[in-house]
């Protein structure tokens, strides 16, 4: 949130800078099986965001001190490529990537049946190839698809969508300018079949009504994204 509230990002007709309405999502494509050596993988593009996720395991957890006797552990690594943004990112982990790795792990832990694989580890590598706002949502959603592709048992998929506020208007799926100069951002992780929430963050300020509106946008958008996840996972077997 840059806090530059005077930047005009929505016109009189209610259209945003990229021509979308307030509740519209950017274009999404999902592809599975993109990393042949991985047990499961997914490439997801969301607007100009692009993420590749690879899942390995369940495998023996090393070092041994991370093993849990009653369940598996998720080892999530979120990383942005140095070329993923217009300003070169310094390679390696930083405070932000550690935070996103942790919230992604926490969200996925609520759906993966970890107790079936005691003492083992499931490694999830999320690489952001191109970043334009909302990469944590792309990473989490793609990780969920990659886990399903790897045959890891899950009670539901996780769909992550963000809504926010620009020029005092609540909009769905912020792009880079809206994210930088908008007033608030509300990313959520939703289980589409049950409607349960497994992840929520908020940046900036939203009134109660605005929060409800952003919540509704996210819930509606999660259904649309979930449909695309189903199509990608089922592939052309249904055609």
Partner 1 sequence: MREKNEAGEPRDNGRDQLLVIPGEDLGDSQGLEPGHGVMEVNGRIKALKQGMMRKNGSYISVEPIHTRYFPRPSDLVIGYIEGCTNNIWFVDIGAPFNAILPMSLGPGKAEFGGTRSIMDVGDAILCRVQEVEETHSSVVTMKGMGLRKIRSGTIEELDPHLLGRLIGKGGDSLRRLKEATQCRIVVADNGRMWVDGDLSGILKVRDKVQSLSNNPAVQKGGRN
Q: Is 191 in the site for partner 1 (CB under 8 A)?
A: yes
Determine which residue in the list 7, 24, 31, 77 makes contact with partner 1, applying CB under 8 A: 31
Beta-carbon count within 10 A of 156 CB: 17
Contacts of partner 1 in 157-176 (CB under 8 A): 157
**Rounded Cα distance, 181 and 189, in Å:** 23
CB contact at 8 A, 127 and 81: yes
Q: Is 221 in the site for partner 1 (CB under 8 A)?
A: no
Q: Is 153 in the site for partner 1 (CB under 8 A)?
A: yes
Report the DSSP beta bridge partners of residue 60. Answer: 120
CB of 162 to partner 1, least distance (A): 20
Q: Is 220 in the site for partner 1 (CB under 8 A)?
A: no
Specify the stretch interacting with partner 1 by CB under 8 A; choose among 32-40, 77-85, 125-133, 177-185. Answer: 32-40
Q: Which residues contact 202 (CB under 8 A, 6 or more apart)?
A: 184, 185, 186
Residue 60: in which H helix or E strand, if any? Answer: strand 49-60
- CB nearer to partner 1: give 100 or 191: 191
Specify the stretch interacting with partner 1 by CB under 8 A; choose among 31-39, 82-90, 172-180, 181-189. Answer: 31-39
Q: Is 54 in the site for partner 1 (CB under 8 A)?
A: no
Residue count of the chain, please give it: 239
3-state secondary structure 117-161: CCCEEEEEEEEEEECCCCHHHHHHHHHHHHHHHCCCCECCCCEEE
Determine which residue in the list 1, 17, 89, 154 makes contact with partner 1, applying CB under 8 A: 154
SS3 call for 7: coil
Beta-carbon count within 10 A of 183 CB: 22
Residues in the interface with partner 1 (CB under 8 A) total 47
Site track 69-108 with partner 1 (rule: CB under 8 A), x = hit: x--x------------------------------------
- SS3 helix, strand, coil % of the chain, rounded to 5? 30, 30, 40
Site track 115-134 with partner 1 (rule: CB under 8 A), x = hit: --xxxx--------------
Determine which residue in the list 47, 57, 139, 189 makes contact with partner 1, applying CB under 8 A: 57
Positions in the binding site for partner 1 (CB under 8 A):
29-33, 39-40, 57-60, 69, 72, 111, 113, 117-120, 147-157, 191-193, 223, 226-238
């Amino acid at each position: 949130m840059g806090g530059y509230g005077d930047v005009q990002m929505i016109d009189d007709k209610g259209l945003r800078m990229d021509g979308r309405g307030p509740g519209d999502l950017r274009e999404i494509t999902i592809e599975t099986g993109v990393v042949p050596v991985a047990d499961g993988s997914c490439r997801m593009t969301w607007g100009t965001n692009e993420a590749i996720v690879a899942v390995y395991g369940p495998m023996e957890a090393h070092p041994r001190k991370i093993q849990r006797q009653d369940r598996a552990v998720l080892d999530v690594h979120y990383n942005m490529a140095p070329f993923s943004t217009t300003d070169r990112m310094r390679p390696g982990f930083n405070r932000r990537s550690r935070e996103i790795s942790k919230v992604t792990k926490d969200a996925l832990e609520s759906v993966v049946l970890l107790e079936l694989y005691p003492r083992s580890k499931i490694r999830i590598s999320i690489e952001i190839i191109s970043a334009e706002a909302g990469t944590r949502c792309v990473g989490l959603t793609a990780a969920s698809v990659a886990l399903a592709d790897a045959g890891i048992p899950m009670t539901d998929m996780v769909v992550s969508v963000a809504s926010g506020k620009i020029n005092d208007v609540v909009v769905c799926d912020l792009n880079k300018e809206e994210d930088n100069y908008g007033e608030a951002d509300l990313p959520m992780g939703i289980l589409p079949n049950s409607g349960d929430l497994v992840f929520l963050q908020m940046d900036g300020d939203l009134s109660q009504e605005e929060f409800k509106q952003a919540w509704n946008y996210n819930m509606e958008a999660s259904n649309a994204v979930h449909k695309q996840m189903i199509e990608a996972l089922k592939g052309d077997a249904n055609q």
